[in-house]
Amino acid sequence: MPPRGAARPRAPPTPPAAGAPAAFSALEVVQRFQTMLQAQERSPCTVKQYGHIARTFLGYVGKPLDEVESRDVEGFREYLVLRRHYSKNSLYTTVRGLSCLFRSFGIAIDRGLDPPRRPERLPRYLNEEETHRLFEIARGSPRDYAILHVLGYGGLRVGELCALRIEEIEFDRNVLHVRSGKGDKDREVLMEEKTHDAVERYLADRSLAGIQSPRLFPVTPVTVERMVRKRAAEAGIAQRVTPHVLRHTLATALLRRGCDIRYIQKLLGHASVATTQIYTHVDTQALREAYTRARPEY
């Protein structure tokens, strides 16, 4: 017992529960939301993108998260479409981000969280001559040359490329280990001889430059995106080229050369072969050749 007349010690304050965001400012909600996403091992790109969605939404509604109603969500969607001119793809991503936000804080919203149906567009890709030009234009830069080979021959997503660590490369087996790819799935990616040589040349070059990092390419996705666009322009390629275009290029080229679609699915890390099947609709010439080989003689 404390001495008579002494002030009684106060009990420590009870921290607010994760599902009670009323005590949080909008900034705290976003920070806690991003921390939850990181704990779920979401990709850095998803953490950043969903954080931006949460920040934009809370700025629009101007009220605590636990006071948000379905009409607020519906009003926000109308604002994005009518005032910000969001495409269906952008709106789809935004709704997915909001759904994750409310779910993370245990808040139920009745309406407004049904994502729109996205238009089915055929993926853009380069032909093999364009891809060769792209690689050759970067030959003078060991880093750019290696990055393009890993993207173009390995089919990695740009986030997977930037997260790849040197220790995850088996040079004796010519294999890259992609850890926690999309959907938190690990997979092995084959590294053919040209990529092997490009990566070894780059590692020797960066060692001479004194670059020390556990990551193979200590760069950001934005840096890679800019480099790919710059090199494509230098190579005289008219269409807009991104790292994902190189992923589509690999899948299309493999399919054209007769690779089983199930192997392409495994290489790209698709959860379902239905996702990979979009490439069967891309190349008319491959379709024509396959039809000619298999057509019946009535």
Catalytic residue ranges:
157, 182, 244, 247, 270, 279
> What letter would DSSP give residue 21?
G
Contacts by 34-40, CB closer than 8 A, 24 or more apart: 36/104, 37/100, 37/104
The number of beta carbons lying within 10 Å of the beta carbon of residue 247 is: 22
Element at 190 (helix H, strand E): strand 187-190
The number of beta carbons lying within 10 Å of the beta carbon of residue 58 is: 21
Non-local CB neighbours of 250 within 8 Å, separated by 6+ positions: 152, 153, 154, 155, 267
207 Rama sector, left if φ>0, alpha if ψ -120 to 50, beta otherwise: alpha
For the chain, the farthest-separated pair of C-alpha atoms sits apart, in whole angstroms, at: 107
* φ, ψ (nearest 5 deg) of residue 176: -105, 135
Cα dist from 141 to 12, 135, 146, 151, whole Å:
59, 10, 8, 15
As a whole number of angstroms, the distance between CA 155 and CA 235 comes to 20
As a whole number of angstroms, the distance between CA 268 and CA 255 comes to 13
Non-local CB neighbours of 87 within 8 Å, separated by 6+ positions: none
